[in-house]
Amino acid sequence: TTAIAYCKDATATALTATASGGHTLVWYDTDGTTKLSGAPTPLTSSVGTTTYYVAQNNTLTGCEGPQTTITITVNALPVAPTATTTIDYCEDDAAVALSATASSGHTLVWYGSDGTTVLSGAPTPSTSSAGTTNYYVAQNATLTDCEGPKTTITVTVSGTPVAPTVSDVSYCNNETATALTATASTGNTLVWYDASQTGITTPTPSTSSVGSVTYYVAQQTASGCEGPKSLVTVTINALPVAPTATTAIAYCKDATATALTA
């Protein structure tokens, strides 16, 4: 016989022993005195060590020999590994491999989204489409090869909004300008950028110089996912010069006047 080790709650099988020719096995319970009807199947519901006994009986003489002990060890399962269990990405973000912390003397075992497919290492989530995916990780005790319960890591990929609706704006030189506007979808906020695409607050264009100025605006979801930018062009038009006209006209009282010209 040989000693046998199980992990807690593993499925156990009946004990075995090898009898000599012309002999039958006689099994005893853990007290060494209570005879059993056959080979026992150990319980694995509790951690610890249990000893069973087996002897062989000579079929011809009915004589029973000394007992052999079989030691059954039920090893504890490691706890579930520590991990950040909720991870959020925006669609098409650059993702990194998932991570978890194993206890000393343990290794991590990663599983795919089905919870059963063992992976070669920590997976890197796909962010190519919006949705939620669960991954699983357990830890395995190096000495006992017992694997504990899984930790679930939920990865949520949020969709990005479309570019907001905008219109180009024109002003006359030195006209009073108002803050730029754009239309965002319900639940989204606007994010403004200057011509160098540096983030700014909602801009009010300067009209002091003639020319065109470019601004950009995107919309951002409540979860912080920002979509593509829309381009807003603000054009400041030059003022025409003063018209040419005779600037001083004299009449005699009650003379017939004509319409002014320029």
* pLDDT over threshold 90, residue 153: yes
For 17-47, strand residue ranges (E) read: 23-28
- Position 2 scores a pLDDT of 83
pLDDT at 1 over 80: no
Q: Which residues contact 253 (CB under 8 A, 6 or more apart)?
A: none
Query: What's the mean per-residue pLDDT of the chain?
Result: 96
According to the model, what pLDDT value does residue 139 have?
A: 97
Question: What pLDDT sits at residue 214?
Answer: 97
Distance CA 68, CA 163 (A): 79
User: Could you report the per-residue pLDDT of 44-96, keeping only the tens digit for each?
Assistant: 999 999 999 999 999 999 999 999 999 999 999 999 999 999 999 999 999 99
Instruction: Name the β-bridge partners of 17.
Output: none
Nearest alpha carbon to residue 177 among 215, 207, 203: 207
Rounded alpha-carbon distances, angstroms, from residue 234 to 127, 131, 197: 36, 38, 15
**Residue 135 backbone dihedrals phi, psi, to 5 degrees:** -120, 165
Contact between residue 170 and residue 235 where contact means Cβ atoms under 8 Å apart: yes
Q: Residue 114: left if φ>0, alpha if ψ -120 to 50, beta else—which one?
A: alpha
Query: Would you say 57 and 26 are in contact if contact means Cβ atoms under 8 Å apart?
Result: yes
- Asked if residues 192 and 199 have their Cβ atoms less than 8 Å apart, the reply is yes
Give the confidence band of 223 by pLDDT, cuts at 50, 70, 90.
Answer: confident
Taking CA atoms, 54 is separated from 1, 3, 44, 109, in Å, by 9, 13, 20, 38
> What is d(CA 126, CA 157) in angstroms, rounded to the nearest whole number?
9
Tell me the one-letter amino acid at 239. Answer: L
